[in-house]
Amino acid sequence: MTLPHPTADQISLPIVLAVLGDPTRLAIVRYLASKEGVPMNCSKFLDLASKTNLSYHLAKLREAGVTRAEAVGTSRLITLRRDDLDRRFPGLLDSVIAAASEDKALPVVGTVDAEIDS
């Protein structure tokens, strides 16, 4: 099963900014950035929300072009689309992640251990 993703040229700044305005989604992006290049099983983020709510947030990130989700069996492996975002909006992701790293009010990922290396 292939999940739909926007092409790099279809990634829109207003949509990316709107998606990153949510604390749960920003926490997911911050965590993915800290594990750069390592696909994360979507269950890694279960400490942030219920499965239904988490599916919603991950879909919003994917639809905005912030993440890539790959279906592997019954799992979804999530990665940050840093190259595409940096090409479209140089410096944006680094600025957002730096600000998020300093924000103590954001939820923290890490109580559920379900990493999968590619």
48-95 residue pLDDT tens: 888 889 999 999 999 999 999 998 888 889 999 999 999 999 999 999
Encode 97-114 in three state secondary structure.
HHHHHCCCCCCCCCCCCC
Tokens of 51: 């499965």
Closest C-alpha to 22, from 106, 98, 115, 110: 106
Strands 75-80, 67-72: parallel, antiparallel or unpaired by DSSP? antiparallel
Tokens of 14: 């207003």
34-51 residue pLDDT tens: 998 899 998 888 888 888
How would residue 96 be classed by pLDDT, with cut points 50, 70 and 90?
very high
The share of the chain scoring above pLDDT 70, in percent, equals 92
Question: What pTM, to 2 d.p., does this model score?
Answer: 0.86
